[in-house]
């Protein structure tokens, strides 16, 4: 029997991600920023993944699409919700995962995952930057530092200070006041990450937090955020390799099972 080659495409608000599977092995990944034309961005991400996999579009047996723009992929033979794809991907990476926290640039999700890799319950924050990656990006800009450097600063903090603002725009003003008050940037960074972690944890609490907990989405690369989540949850979350591809991986797995 020939091993099937399948692809999962995750068309999000900010980025498109593609994972190509040969059987159950990932052979290619590709990403593109979502531009004005979602179809065009999807094609770009797909090409990148094909190139990495060193195969042709015609070698792909089946495609499953997920993400808000999942209907923009007419070549997909099936679609799956972001939540379903996320749960499937997390389960594949680590079957012990019962809670998945997926934080992207514009959206945050908490998902309760069954041992079979199904989404049992979920909570979402969308359309508000306070509970998404855009929050930390805006704060890094207020401190005039690259995001990575800003995130790493949090680990050197010696003091935990509370932030009052629950809105990214108001938090920017608060960060500026903290800078003027000569607060060490390390402590400001910690405060910012604690504040978003606090909101995310409260949101995930609605679905119940059960070990193991996995952190997915681009924000999982942010070490300051991971640190604050670990402190807030009093446990160590699992951060997979390529955390932003968990949804696309889940979609590719669904395609492989069809």
Partner 1 sequence: MLANYGYKDGSGDYFIAIDTDKCNGCAKCVDACPQSVFEMGDDDSDPLREEPVARVSGEQRKKLKYACAPCKRYLTTLSGGKTEETMKEIEKLPCVVSCELRAINHSW
Partner 2 sequence: MAEEKKEYWRWLESRWTNPNINWRQAKIITGGVDVGSVSTQAVIMADGDLYAFANMRTGSDSPNSARNAFNWALEGTGMAETDVKYTVGTGYGRVNVPMAKKAITEIACHARGANFMYGPTVRTVLDMGGQDCKAIRIDDKGKVESFLMNDKCAAGTGRGMEVFSDLLTISINDVGKMSMEVDVEPEPVSSTCVIFAKTEATGLLRQGWAKNKVLAAYCRAMAGRVNELLQRVGVVKDFAITGGIAKNIGVVSRLENLLGLKALTPRHDTQLAGAIGAALFAKGLLEKDLKK
Residues contributing to the site for partner 2 (CB under 8 A): 36, 106, 127-129, 134-135, 138, 144, 166-170, 173, 177, 180
Q: For residue 100, state whether it binds partner 1 (rule: CB under 8 A).
A: no
Q: For residue 13, state whether it binds partner 1 (rule: CB under 8 A).
A: no
User: Measured from the CB atom, is 82 or 233 closer to partner 2?
Assistant: 82
Q: For residue 202, state whether it binds partner 1 (rule: CB under 8 A).
A: yes
By a kind-dependent CB cut-off of 5 to 8 A, residue 168 interacts, out of partner 2, partner 1, none, with: partner 2
Restricting to residues 143-162, name those near partner 1 by CB under 8 A.
none
Residue 131 Cβ vs partner 1, minimum distance, rounded to whole Å: 8
Residue 125 Cβ vs partner 2, minimum distance, rounded to whole Å: 11
Q: How far apart are CA 224 and CA 190, in angstroms?
A: 7
Q: For residue 122, state whether it binds partner 1 (rule: CB under 8 A).
A: yes
Residue 247 Cβ vs partner 2, minimum distance, rounded to whole Å: 20
Q: For residue 137, state whether it binds partner 1 (rule: CB under 8 A).
A: no
Applying CB under 8 A, among 50, 175, 207, 246 the residue interacting with partner 1 is: 207
The DSSP annotation for the chain comes to -PPPEEEEEEE-SSEEEEEEEETTEEEEEEEEE--S-HHHHHHHHHHHHHHHHT--GGG--EEEEESTTGGG-TT-SEE--HHHHHHHHHHHH-TT--EEEEE-SSEEEEEEE-TTS-EEEEEEEES-GGGSHHHHHHHHHHTT--HHHHHHHGGG----------SHHHHHHHHHHHHHTT--HHHHHHHHHHHHHHHHHHHHHTT---SSEEEESGGGG-HHHHHHHHHHHTSPPB--SSGGGHHHHHHHHHHHH-
Residues 5, 251 contacting (CB under 8 angstroms)? no
CA 222, 172, 103: angle at the middle one, nearest 5? 30
Q: For residue 43, state whether it binds partner 1 (rule: CB under 8 A).
A: no
User: How many residues belong to the site for partner 1 (CB under 8 A)?
Assistant: 18
Q: For residue 128, state whether it binds partner 1 (rule: CB under 8 A).
A: yes
Q: For residue 98, state whether it binds partner 1 (rule: CB under 8 A).
A: no
Q: For residue 210, state whether it binds partner 1 (rule: CB under 8 A).
A: no
Residue 191 Cβ vs partner 2, minimum distance, rounded to whole Å: 18
Can you give the binding site for partner 1, defined by CB under 8 A? Answer: 121-123, 125-131, 166-167, 199, 202-203, 205-207
């Amino acid at each position: 029997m020939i091993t099937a080659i399948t692809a999962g495409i995750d068309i999000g608000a900010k980025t498109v991600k593609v994972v190509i599977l040969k059987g159950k092995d990932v052979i290619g990944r590709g990403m593109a920023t979502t531009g004005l034309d979602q179809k065009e961005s999807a094609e770009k991400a797909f090409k990148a993944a094909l190139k990495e996999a060193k195969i042709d579009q015609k070698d792909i047996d089946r495609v499953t699409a997920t993400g808000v723009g999942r209907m923009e992929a007419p070549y997909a033979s099936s679609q799956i919700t972001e939540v379903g794809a996320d749960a499937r991907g997390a389960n594949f990476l680590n079957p012990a995962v019962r809670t998945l926290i997926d934080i992207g640039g514009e959206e945050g999700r908490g998902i309760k995952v069954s041992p079979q890799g199904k989404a049992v319950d979920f909570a979402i924050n969308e359309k508000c930057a306070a509970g998404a990656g855009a929050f930390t990006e805006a704060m890094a800009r207020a401190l005039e530092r690259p995001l990575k450097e800003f995130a790493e600063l949090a680990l050197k903090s010696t003091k935990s200070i509370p932030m009052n603002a629950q809105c990214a725009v108001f938090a920017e003003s608060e960060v500026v006041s903290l800078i003027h008050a000569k607060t060490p940037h390390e402590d400001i960074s910690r405060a910012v990450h604690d504040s978003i972690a606090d909101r995310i944890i409260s949101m995930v609490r609605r679905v119940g937090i059960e070990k193991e907990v996995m952190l997915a989405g681009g924000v999982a690369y942010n070490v300051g955020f991971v640190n604050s989540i670990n402190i807030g949850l009093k446990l160590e979350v699992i951060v997979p390799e390529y955390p932003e591809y968990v949804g696309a991986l889940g979609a590719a797995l669904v395609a492989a099972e069809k």
